[in-house]
Amino acid sequence: MTAALSVEQVKLLDRFSTSSKSQTGTLYLTATHLLFIDANQKETWILHHHIAAVEKLALTTSGCPLVIQCKNFRIVHFIVPRERDCHDIYNSLLQLSKPARYDELYAFSYNPKQSEVERVRGWQLIDLAEEFSRMGVPNSNWQLSDANRDYKICETYPRELYVPRSASKPIIVGSSKFRSKGRFPVLSYYRKDNEAAICRCSQPLSGFSARCLEDEHMLQAISKANPTNRYMYVVDTRPKLNAMANRAAGKGYENEDNYSNIRFQFVGIENIHVMRSSLQKLLEVCGTRGLSVNDFLSGLESCGWLRHIKAVLEAAVFLAKAIAFEGASVLVHCSDGWDRTSQVCSLGSLLLDPFYRTIKGFMVLIEKDWIAFGHKFSDRCGQLDGDPKEISPVFAQFLESVWHLTEQFPQAFEYNEAFLLQIHEHVHSCQFGNFIGNCQKEREELKLKEKTYSLWPFLLDEQKKYQNPIYNEHFSQSFAILEPDTVSFNFKFWRNMYHQFDHTMHPRQSVLNHVMNMREQNKLLEKDIKQLEAKLGHHATKEETDAAFTKEPLRSVHPISPVHKTLQCFKKEQPLLRANDCIRTIEGANAADNRYSEYMEELSKTEPGMVSLEYGVARMTC
C-alpha cells in the first residue's frame, strides 16, 4: 500500500457511544481507499467510491472534526489534530470520491490476480439467452427479434429482445417512436404453465389525444400471444396525478378507448426525487442519538420510507396474482421504464418463480431486469461527478423489498440478508464492472468485459457465507406464487442495512448465524464419522485377508448388528487378554453398568475379537 498522505494522532469517534472514548491512530490516504489503523492495529477501510459526502466542521479545542457519510450507510467521525492536515484530507476526498471519467473508477485498476481465461469465464457465468430458454422462449407465440441488434431502435435496451411473433418490424419501429426514449413493449418474463407474460416499456407519447396504430397493434399482439386469456393488464406504476401531469408535456398513459382488450391500473409508486428525500429523512432519524421510542417511530413514519417499500411490494403482488391466478399477461411501465418498472417486474418474477429465489437465480434476475434493461446505475448511484438530482435509491428499495420477503418466507430463499447487503455494497463500490454505466450499449463502449471483472463468480466462490440455513427447496417450489401479507405492521426498519457498521450500539445475536455455526459443527462431526467408518472398513478388509489363510472360518457366538454384518472375525492367533484389560468403553461407562453385563459375559469367553454396535455403543476386544 502506497499512501499519498498520512496523519498521526487522529481520533475516530463512535457516534452512538454513551462515553466520550475514542480510538487514536493513523489516517492514510491512498489512491483508492481511506485507511485508519488504531493503536491495536485494527484497520478501517473506506473505499473512495463509497463516499457520498464529506463535511469539515468548525475547529475545536481537540482538533478539526471531519465527518464522512458513505453510500453503504457507514458514517465516520474523525478528529484531526491540525486544521491544515484536515483541510488537505477534505479536499483530496472531495476530488477522489467524485471522478469525472469512467476509467477513473476502481474497477479499471482492481486486480484480483485472475488469469484472462478466468476473467472471461466470470463474465460468461450469466447467459440471458439461456435464461429465456429456461422459461420456454422462443416458442410458437414469442420470438427473438434482431430489430435492435445495432441499438438503432432503442439505445437503452439490450441487443436481443423477445417480442410476439405477430409483431412485424414496422410495428416495432412505429411503437418505439410512440414510446418515451424509444422503449417499446418487450418480454421480461414468460410463465410456461399458463403462457402469461410480463412485458415492459415506457410511457406513451399520447398527450391528451394522440394515438399510434402501430403501438395499438403491438399491445394487441402481446394479448394474442397468450391463448389462455385474451385481455391484458396495463400497469402504470406512477401515481395517477403524476401521469396526468405528464400529459401536459405530451406524454401520459394509454387511453383504454384506443386499445382493445386492456384493463388499466395505476399503483402509485412515487418518483426518484420523493424516494431520495425519503431516504435522507430516514437516515436523519436513525442517525440521531438518544431518540425516545416515540420520537424514533414518529420519525420513521413521517419519512415515508416503509410506506414506499409497501407500495412497491403491493404493485409486485398485483402483477404476480394477475399472472398466476387470472392467467392474464401484464404490461408494466412508469415514465421511462428503467426505475419503477424494473422494481415491479423483478419483484413480480421473484414471487412467481422459485428459481429467482436461489443464489444463482437472483444474479440472473438482476442481470435481466436491471442491468440488461438499462436501469441507470451510474446516475442513480452517483458513480461520476454529475447531477445530484439524478441520484436515487431505486435499487436499494428493490433489495429491501426482497429482504422483507425473506422475513415473511424464511424457508423460501436460498440466500440470506448478508447476500443482499454484499450486493448493495458492490453496487456502490465500483470494484466490479457489472453495475458501471447506464445501459448495455454504454458498457460495450467502455469494454468492461475486457477491462474489468464480474462480481458474480466472486460471490459464488463465497456462497457458503450467503446460504440461508433453513432454506427448503421443496417448500419454495410448492407455491404457485408467494403471497406476502402487505399490512402495515409487517414492514419494519432494516437495522442491519442502516446500522451494519455501528457495532457498539448494542449487543446482537443472529439466529441464522447461530444455526449456520451449528450446521458447520454438524458437518465436522459427520466428517469425523466418515473417517471412523473408513477406518473400520480398513480393519474389516484386513481381517478378511487374514481369514482367507485359515483352514476353517471363525464364527461369532453372539449376533452381529445388521449394520455390520459384513465385518469378519479377527484371526485367532494369540491368546486373548483378560476382559478387563481389553475392553474400551465410552467415557463414563463401567463394567458394572447393567447395559454392558451381557457383553462382559460374552467377552470373558475365549472367542475371537468382535466389534458390535448392537446397543448403539462401540466396544472392541483385542
CB 258 within 8 A of CB 211: yes
Give the tens place of pLDDT for each residue, 214-230: 999 999 999 999 999 98
pLDDT of residue 425: 97
Quote the pLDDT of residue 541.
77
Catalytic residue among 86, 334, 439, 569: 334
- Dist. CA 202–CA 551, nearest whole Å: 89
pTM assigned to the model: 0.83
Whether residue 203 has pLDDT greater than 60: yes
- Whole-number Å distance between alpha carbons of 183 and 196: 21
CB 317 within 8 A of CB 483: yes
Contacts of 298 (CB under 8 A, 6+ apart): none
Find the mean pLDDT for residues 87-93: 95
pLDDT value for 1: 58
Please state, in angstroms and rounded to a whole number, the distance separating the CA atoms of residues 585 and 292. Answer: 60
Considering only residues 64 and 551, tell me which one the structure prediction assigns the higher pLDDT: 64
Q: What is the pLDDT of residues 108-143, one digit of tens each?
A: 999 998 899 999 999 999 999 999 999 999 999 999
Does 558 score more than 70 pLDDT?
Answer: no
With H, G, I as helix, E, B as strand and everything else as coil, classify residue 447.
coil
β 75-80/64-70 pair status: antiparallel
pLDDT at 588: 39
The pLDDT score that the predictor gives to residue 550 is: 53
Quickly state the pLDDT bin for 581 (edges 50, 70, 90). Answer: very low
pLDDT at 603: 41
Q: How far apart are the first and last CA of the chain?
A: 61
Strand 329-333, strand 232-236: pairing: parallel
Taking residues 416-439, report their average pLDDT.
97
d(CA 447, CA 441): 10
pLDDT of residue 457: 97
Q: Which residues contact 222 (CB under 8 A, 6 or more apart)?
A: 164, 185, 197, 199, 232, 329, 331
What would the mean pLDDT of 400-418 be, rounded to a whole number? 96
Task: Place 18 in a pLDDT band, splitting at 50, 70 and 90.
Answer: low
Q: How many CB atoms lie within 10 A of CB 33?
A: 19
> How many C-beta neighbours within 10 Å does residue 165 have?
15
Residue 60: beta bridge partners? 63
Beta carbons within 10 angstroms of residue 195's beta carbon: 19
Q: Which helix (H) or strand (E) holds 7?
A: strand 5-13
- How do residues 273-291 score in pLDDT, each as one tens digit? 999 999 999 999 999 888 8
Q: Which residue has the higher pLDDT, 610 or 254?
A: 254
Sheet holding 5-13, edge to edge: 43-47, 33-38, 22-29, 5-13, 75-80, 64-70, 51-56
Beta strands in 231-328 (DSSP E): 232-236, 262-266
Give Cα separations from 585 to 8, 9, 62, 591 (angstroms): 62, 61, 68, 9
Helix 359-366 × helix 417-429 angle, to 10°: 30
- 3-state DSSP of 80-141: ECCHHHHHHHHHHHHHHCCCCCHHHCHHHCCCCCCCHHHHHHHHCCCCHHHHHHHHCCCCCC
pLDDT at 565: 43
Would you tell me how many other CB atoms lie within 10 Å of the CB of residue 217? 20
The helix, strand and coil proportions of the chain, stated in percent and rounded to the nearest 5, come to 45, 15, 40
Q: Which of 488, 495, 509, 121 is nearest to 307 (CA)?
A: 488
Degrees to nearest 5, angle at CA 351 with 317 and 260: 55
pLDDT band for 479, please (50, 70, 90 cuts).
confident
pLDDT at 517 over 90: no
Count the residues in the chain: 622
The answer to whether 103 touches 63, Cβ cutoff 8 Å, is no
Between CA 423 and CA 431, with CA 429 as vertex, the angle to 5 degrees is 95
Scan for cell 421511462, then name that residue. 336
- For residues 396-423, give the mean pLDDT: 96
Provide the H-helix boundaries in 149-230: 169-177, 213-224
The CA-atom distances, in angstroms, between 240 and each of 235, 247, 255, 334, 345 are: 11, 11, 13, 11, 19
Residue 125, burial from CB neighbour count under 10 angstroms (0-12, 13-18, 19+): middle
**CB contact set of 536 (below 8 Å; sequence gap of 6+):** 564, 567, 611
439, 371 contact by CB (below 8 A): no
Residues 6+ away with beta carbon under 8 Å from 8: 26
Give the closest residue to 230 by CA, choosing from 261, 258, 255: 261
* Residues contacting 245, CB < 8 A, separation 6+: none
Residue 597 pLDDT exceeds 50: no
Is the pLDDT at 507 greater than 80? The verdict is no
What pLDDT score was predicted for residue 301? 96
Pair 313, 350: CB distance under 8 Å = no
- Dihedral sign, Cα of residue 435, residue 453, residue 68, residue 424: positive
Q: Does residue 334 carry a catalytic annotation?
A: yes
Rg (CA), the chain: 32
Segment 96-105 shows an average pLDDT of 95
Hey, which bits of 229-298 come out as E strands? Answer: 232-236, 262-266
